[in-house]
């Protein structure tokens, strides 16, 4: 990525739902470093306050629940314009088709798919003509990581949504990013034993032989925010997991 590309974020408004931690916060740091103002959203006030304090005057924040239409609408009432948009916030259950309840199987769609759909829809009146929307799927969309058919389908649906919106919302650019297993905030909340087993298993199935980092995913998001001739694409930032 050239300095010229990064400069395209200077003075722009970047909305990051889930921006208080993890990948969202990593994107926020890079966006602020490039001269953008970031609007952070999430469900936990203390997490958002801590992130905004780190980022300084270039950050504002608001509590939002992406499962609630009214909450999302209220969040965007405090935003004047959207030049770039990413939603990483989601909470869902995965499990085998044979044993999961319909409610459990529905959760990746309700939270991850419909949460992002709801956010983009609410942001529509605020999207600038050259805005960039990045949706978050996952490499499981093309290579199932185990018995979790509904989760696989939800990620594939998000990538399809990116293609459909790229056509319908043009010249606004809409892309999807599909990470593999990432060594970061999410996995840090699990036991060392569970984490090490997951990382070892994932590493053995990738070309690069390791999990990714939040900063590497943020690099890819910033690229899609600033790439003026990329739309309707899915970028697999997965260390080659989808190739094996």
Distance from C-alpha of 165 to C-alpha of 234, rounded to nearest angstrom: 13
Tens-digit pLDDT profile for residues 196-214? 988 999 999 999 999 999 9
Tens-digit pLDDT profile for residues 115-147? 999 999 999 999 999 999 999 999 999 999 888
- What residue spans define the domains of the chain? 3-243
Question: Of 2 and 16, which is predicted with more confidence?
Answer: 16
Question: b or e along 27-61 (b: 16 or more beta carbons within 10 Å of the residue's beta carbon)?
Answer: bbbbbbebebbbbbbbbeeebbeebbeebeeebbb
pLDDT of residue 192: 86
Rounded mean pLDDT of the chain? 95
Angle (CA) 241-139-230 rounded to 5° is 105
The model's confidence at residue 3, banded by pLDDT at 50, 70 and 90, is low
Residue 13 has pLDDT above 80, yes or no: yes
Residue 1 has pLDDT above 70, yes or no: no
pLDDT of residue 178: 98
For 3-243, the fitting CATH number among 3.40.50.720, 3.40.50.11890, 1.10.760.10, 2.60.120.10 is 3.40.50.720
Residue 6 has pLDDT above 70, yes or no: no
Residue 233 has pLDDT above 70, yes or no: yes
Tens-digit pLDDT profile for residues 31-60? 999 999 999 999 999 999 999 999 999 999
Q: Where are the alpha helices (DSSP H) in the chain?
A: 3-7, 22-33, 45-55, 69-76, 102-107, 114-123, 149-169, 185-188, 192-203, 214-226
Tens-digit pLDDT profile for residues 72-89? 999 999 999 999 999 999
């Amino acid at each position: 990525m050239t300095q010229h590309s990064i400069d395209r974020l200077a003075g722009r408004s970047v909305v990051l739902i889930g921006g208080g931690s993890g990948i969202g916060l990593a994107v926020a740091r890079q966006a602020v470093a490039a001269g953008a103002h970031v609007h952070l959203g999430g469900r936990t006030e203390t997490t958002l306050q801590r992130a905004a304090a780190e980022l300084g005057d270039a950050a504002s924040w608001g509590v939002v629940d992406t499962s609630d239409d009214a909450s999302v609408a209220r969040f965007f009432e405090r935003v004047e314009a959207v030049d770039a948009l990413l939603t990483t916030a989601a909470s869902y259950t995965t499990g085998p088709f044979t044993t999961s309840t319909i409610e459990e199987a529905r959760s990746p769609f309700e939270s991850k798919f419909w949460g992002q759909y709801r956010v983009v829809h609410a942001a529509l009146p605020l999207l600038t003509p050259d805005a960039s929307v990045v949706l978050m799927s996952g490499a499981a969309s093309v290579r199932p990581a185990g018995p979790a058919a509904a989760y696989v389908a939800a990620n594939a649906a998000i990538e399809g949504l990116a293609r459909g919106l790229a056509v319908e919302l043009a010249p606004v650019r809409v892309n999807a990013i599909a990470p593999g297993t990432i060594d970061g905030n999410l996995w840090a909340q699990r036991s060392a034993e569970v984490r090490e087993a997951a990382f070892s298993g994932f590493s053995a199935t990738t070309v690069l032989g390791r999990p990714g980092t939040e900063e590497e995913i943020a690099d890819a998001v910033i690229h899609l925010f600033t790439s003026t001739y990329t739309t309707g694409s899915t970028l697999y930032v997965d260390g080659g997991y989808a190739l094996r």
